[in-house]
């Protein structure tokens, strides 16, 4: 049976992004398969951070969702090491992509109330593109496969060669990690 993919794409409006940001929801942790009352999902601005090991929420999220700590953890951030409260939450990304019972820590960071870390990003594929001055970032789970631009370039060169492309359109690929070292 084919896996069911859950995906979303966020597209910038008005240019390239220097911060990957969108709206995501948080609720108290619950298992939707058990039935019962569904806690309120509240949306906040979220920053995607591949440099963060785990996801983080601010005091504003804790207060709005009525979250209670489930423990404490030592965290390492840009301002050093500290002991922070840990909370158990469900996280809702755009387009109905959701994670239940995620451990998050409390933190302070500017520009958003949720920081999506590698604990979530590693659950699927994450890609950022900047074509034509527009940033798009996409997430899909489960993983669909690897993205390898060097491999794509090399395959394109083979197709061009097979179709009798002129010498001007065919580049010789050198083993330079995808960069063509020849001077132009």
What is the residue extent of each domain of the chain? Answer: 6-141, 148-179
Give the percent of the chain with pLDDT over 90. Answer: 70
Span 110-122, average pLDDT: 97
Task: Report whether pLDDT(183) > 70.
Answer: no
Residues 62-110 pLDDT 10s: 999 999 999 999 999 888 899 999 999 999 999 999 999 999 999 999 9
Number of H helices, E strands in the chain: 3, 10
Residues 19-47 pLDDT 10s: 999 999 999 999 988 888 889 999 999 99
Q: How far apart are CA 160 and CA 99, in angstroms?
A: 43
Specify the pTM.
0.82
* Distant-in-sequence, close-in-space partners of 117: CB < 8 Å, separation ≥ 6: 49, 52, 53, 54, 55, 56
The CATH class of the 6-141 domain is mainly beta
The larger pLDDT score, comparing residue 169 to residue 93, is at 93
Span 16-21, average pLDDT: 96
């Amino acid at each position: 049976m084919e896996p069911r993919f859950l995906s979303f794409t966020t597209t910038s409006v008005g240019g390239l992004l220097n911060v990957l940001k969108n709206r995501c929801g948080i609720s108290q942790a619950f298992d939707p398969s058990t039935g019962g009352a569904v806690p309120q999902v509240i949306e906040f601005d979220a920053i995607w951070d591949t440099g963060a090991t785990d996801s983080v929420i601010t005091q504003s999220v804790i207060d709005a969702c009525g979250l209670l700590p489930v423990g404490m953890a030592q965290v390492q951030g840009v301002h050093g090491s500290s002991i922070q409260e840990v909370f158990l939450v469900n996280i809702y990304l755009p387009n109905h992509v959701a994670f239940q019972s995620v451990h998050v820590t409390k933190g302070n960071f500017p520009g958003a109330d949720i920081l999506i870390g590698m604990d979530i990003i590693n659950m699927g594929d994450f890609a950022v593109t900047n074509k034509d001055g527009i940033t798009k970032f996409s997430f899909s789970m489960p993983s669909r496969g690897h993205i390898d631009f060097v491999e794509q370039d090399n395959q394109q060169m083979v197709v061009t060669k097979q179709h009798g492309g002129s010498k001007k359109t065919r580049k010789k690929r050198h083993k330079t990690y995808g960069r063509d070292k020849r001077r132009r």
